[in-house]
Amino acid sequence: MDFSSDDYFMREALKEAHKAFDDGEVPVGAVVVCQGKIIARAHNQTERLTDATAHAEMLAATAAANFLGSKYLTDCTLFVTLEPCVMCAGALHWVQLQRLVYAADDVQRGYSLVNQPLLHPRTEIVKGVRKAESKELIDRFFQRIRKG
């Protein structure tokens, strides 16, 4: 197993998404990687924290900035299981993220629905890593809510 691949780190983000699922949160997980090491982990906590901004990406970026002692994440990659929303994309612009790797597209609220570039121009974007697994978890979560 390659412990430095996009697939490996997305699996780590999916572990965070499963924590969110188990907590009754929308199952989105994120990890921030710098120099081949995970420096921050997070999952959605909007319900737990009663905070609509407590998305996995926001929490992970804040934790990474604290770890680095810098407001910028110019040498970091964020792995997230769902395409960031507009709010998160704006925050990722400001932290000047080097790379964004996400699994599933968010066809209802994803940043790519906006017809303007929201991420920093230097941010490399990789889509679709472990997409099916992420989408299945999201679908299972919303099916559970509809039945409940």
Tokens 């039945």, located at residue: 147
Catalytic residue among 12, 16, 47, 57: 57
CA distances in angstroms from 64 to 47, 59, 110, listed in the order given: 22, 9, 22
For residue 83, indicate whether it is catalytic: no
Would you call 76 helix, strand, or coil by DSSP?
strand
Name the DSSP letter for residue 123. -
Would you call 62 helix, strand, or coil by DSSP?
helix
Beta strand pairing call for 29-34 and 76-82? antiparallel
Cα separation, 89 vs 3, whole angstroms? 27
User: What residues are labeled active site?
Assistant: 57
